[in-house]
Structure 1
Amino acid sequence: MQAAKFGVRLHRNARAAAFAGRPGRRCVTCDDGRVFRARDVIIATGAEYRRLTVPGAESWEGNSVHYAATVAEAQSCLGKPVAVIGGGNSAGQAAMFLSRTSGPVHLLVRGEDLEHSMSRYLIEEITANPRIRVWLRTETVALVADSEITAIDVVDRKAGRRSRLEAGAVFVFIGATPCTSWLGGRLATDRNGFLLSGQDLDSAWEADRAPLPFETSEPGVFCVGDARSGSVKRVAAAVGEGSAAVRLVFERRRLDGDRHLLM
């Protein structure tokens, strides 16, 4: 309703498929063949979160297999043992949150340690929490269930040893793939493919002025939300970034001397 009030043209049921053009005249081509031209572009294509590939996991998604750890999910497994899969900050924060109402919490990590993927303060909190048990070099290979999930089978990747852990729910935080392939590699990214912006650009920025916050390696092209490197992967954060980017579009035009909007 707000978009309609301000005259926004909505193009539904199509994906961005290609990006071309030059400064001041960008072209975004959708998979239905339509081409949109604009002086500035705000990219908010998000990321696709990786799914648990264990056989049968898909049928339990939203029931006992979760990709978020909020109050709603925690309520469904009060007092039960749970498993959290992942070695990053999101997994660590989920383990800490779930340990308040569930236990034990099994934190399953594929890597050799947590230091390479998790903040030090979070590692210390997890280590000091008696309700959390960390399993390193561990991969989930099967779900054990009848009318509900009761356990998971895991394998120690180094020793090859298989174990069964009681778990009434599984929480998955194994990363995401940014939806940026349609850009054809034109914009600078981090090693995981998320778009660099603002002060993170360093040598990737070649314009005479400093990059604005959320501005990518091409002036006038901004990125907000989950596709942006270093962003907080939360809806509220993405909304705030989007609002700021709209304002920065006008600031960019002022700095670069643009006077007319190209539709």
Structure 2
Amino acid sequence: MPVSTQSGSVETRTEAVLPHIADPQKVAPKDARELSKLFFDQLQVLEEGTHEHQYARNTLIEINQSLVYYAAKRYRNRGDGQLDDIIQVGTIGLIKAIDRFELSREVEFTSFAVPYIVGEIKRFFRDTTWSVHVPRRLQELRVTLAKAMEELSSLLDRDPTVADLAAHLTIGEEEVIEGLIAANGYTAGSIDMPTDSDHTPSGSGRTYADITGDLDPGMELVENLHTLAPLLQTLDDRERTIIAMRFGQEMTQAEIGKHLGVSQMHISRILNRILTKLRTGMLTQN
């Protein structure tokens, strides 16, 4: 059964009475609707897993790809640079719609498919655009607050306060604050970006990395000393004296031995015993 299109030649496909379309994505939308009915009709009688069934399903995906592009245009100004990803997830929605559509529904496939496509795109943004994990309730509150802020800014001719937002939405001020804080997790910026502080000299090249705190290696030393202090109290006077000479006055083992009237080897054995005792004590406490 030959079928003609506005922008592609069609040849009869005898195996399943389906036309062969040279370039499915160039089929005009009007022709795509008619061809979709034909392919859906055959898809219901073809055995799943056969070459004919796969051909019919793949062709339906390709000739209806314009629905994905149509839906994706609504999100092209989000500034996320993810148009390819949007089209990809939109296509997943299109495939789901094709697999679940039945001609007996007596509804146009386009009307059936668009909600599936848009649903997948919205799910993609919901699951991927938050830089940190935020509960769904707060994600939805962020959207509500954004709309309310836009409305109130026009009405009040100024930025709305927390009290304004709470009154407008009939929710508590604490909930508004929680939502505004959660909105900070929606996007993330690089710490290599230049700061916008008025106190930063122009052209200084100062970035957020320069003013962001980091782990202080000295803190580990403080914690170790804090743990070590009570352990030192368990040593006898002679052991504490040797520790003070070795690590406080930085005397050599030979100098300590000479001061105490013993050999360097004896001091070495004492130090090893003391340090083992202290090390075991610190590991036990940690």
* TM-score using structure 1 length: 0.19
- Pick 1 or 2: higher relative contact order, CA cutoff 8 A, min separation 6: 1
Q: Which has the higher strand share?
A: 1
Q: Which has the higher helix share?
A: 2
Compare CA radii of gyration and give the structure with the larger one: 2
* TM-score using structure 2 length: 0.18
